[in-house]
Amino acid sequence: MPVLKRILVGTDLSPAGQRAVIRAGQLARQWEANLFLTHVRPDWNLFSRWRPASQDSYQDVAHSSETPLRLALAELESRFGVHARCDSRLGKASNVIAAVVAELEPHLLVIGARGEHEACAPGPCLGGTAMKLLARVETPMLLVRRDSDTGYACAVVAVDAPGALSRRAVLWGSGLVGAGDCHVVHAYDVPYVERMRLQEIDESVIQRRMRQSQEAATVTVQDLLGAAEGHAKMHTHAVYGEPVCTVLSEVGRVPADLLVIGKREPPGPHTQHGAMGGVGFRIAYHAPTDVLVLSS
């Protein structure tokens, strides 16, 4: 099973941040984990850069978080029986949260997929802090979109190559849903099909290549079932199609309340540390549900 003994949740005290806190509390209760809550307050340089401001208004903002933080901690205690530790720091959100991750070495980082500007961008997308942390943090990161205090019941695990990262994704997905449903989805493609048809290659040759690709994809998802643990009901899907659209379609079809994806496997020699592949990033950006992002 995944190890979840230390959970860190970052919140800006917005509705999106509160959803992340509630999810972190639910997971802390489920896994009997220690929960740490971090709130980042803008320092004067950040505050004054983006708006006309006086020192008085800055002090109002700096101190206005004290009551909401106390209420958040009280709600975690009453709702989940979880006693969380709280830390409030000055600085840029992505920098501070990354620093706290390095200090605490949590097994899971939980943040809202978007923050205080959520209402300005209708539809699924990612906030700036989430995007920056995806590029910097190797810790498993849960991007929360749903408003729920119950455990996950249905997960889609998007896998690619049958390597360590895909196996880790299956482990986490099957572990987090408990006795629920875990759908392992491999979206496969057949390169150059249309080009082969334009070159008038015999259709039987094309169909044979498509069958071979399907068989290989089916073997991949079947082999990955060996990484599942717990009591989840496992389902495998080898689906022909473009990966982003296919995975998002499966999330809606099931429907899933959790999507598990990997950043990339493996990073290339010139890849920025922690960088996320284009396919994984687009899936996380557009997914309508909570997304757990894992690194290799």
pTM over 0.85: yes
Residue 66: its pLDDT value, please?
Answer: 79
pLDDT-derived band at 62, boundaries 50, 70, 90: low
The alpha carbon torsion through 236, 239, 243, 246 (nearest 10 deg) reads: -90
Residues 260-275: what's their mean pLDDT? 60
pLDDT-derived band at 129, boundaries 50, 70, 90: very high
The token pair that represents 220 in the structure block: 């991949």
Domains of the chain plus CATH, in order, are: 1-145 (3.40.50.620), 152-296 (3.40.50.620)
Residue 136 has pLDDT above 70, yes or no: yes
- The sheet with strand 181-188 has its strands ordered as 85-90, 34-41, 6-11, 108-112, 141-144, 290-294, 258-262, 154-159, 181-188, 233-240
Q: What share of the chain is helix, strand, coil (3-state, %, to 5)?
A: 45, 20, 35
pLDDT tens digit string along 174-189? 999 999 999 999 998 8
Residue 265 has pLDDT above 70, yes or no: no
The token pair that represents 18 in the structure block: 């509160």
pLDDT-derived band at 269, boundaries 50, 70, 90: very low
Residues 191-211: what's their mean pLDDT? 80
Beta bridge partners of 39: 11, 88
The token pair that represents 231 in the structure block: 């009591």
Residue 271: its pLDDT value, please?
Answer: 45
Listed residue (80, 136, 137, 73) closest to 109, CA to CA: 137
Residue 145 has pLDDT above 80, yes or no: yes
Q: Are 94 and 274 in contact (CB under 8 A)?
A: no
Residue 84: its pLDDT value, please?
Answer: 95
